[in-house]
């Protein structure tokens, strides 16, 4: 069996950060009225925000085991 993957903590934090930044950027685009389909941007940003928060909670809870 192989050992643990390198940079696990950094990669998992980066994934959570990408989801949250995408959500915040999407909300900004939708709010500014620059999106051709703002409804899509609102919903997709909300979904990305939920994924990012869930991912971040999982990383913080499992930090000691990483």
Q: Where are the domains of the chain?
A: 8-65
Structure confidence by residue, pLDDT tens digits, 11-65: 999 999 999 999 999 999 999 988 889 999 999 999 999 999 999 999 999 999 9
Q: What is the per-residue pLDDT for 34?
A: 83
C-alpha 41/C-alpha 7 separation (Å) is: 32
- Output the pTM of the full model: 0.87
Residue-by-residue DSSP string for 7-49: THHHHHHHHHHHHHHHHHHHHHHHHHT--SSHHHHHHHHHHHH
């Amino acid at each position: 069996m192989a050992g643990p993957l390198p940079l696990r903590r950094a990669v998992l934090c980066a994934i959570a950060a990408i989801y949250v930044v995408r959500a915040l950027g999407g909300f900004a685009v939708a709010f500014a009225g620059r999106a051709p389909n703002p409804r899509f941007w609102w919903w997709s940003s909300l979904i990305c925000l939920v994924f990012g928060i869930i991912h971040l909670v999982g990383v913080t809870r499992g930090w000691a085991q990483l």
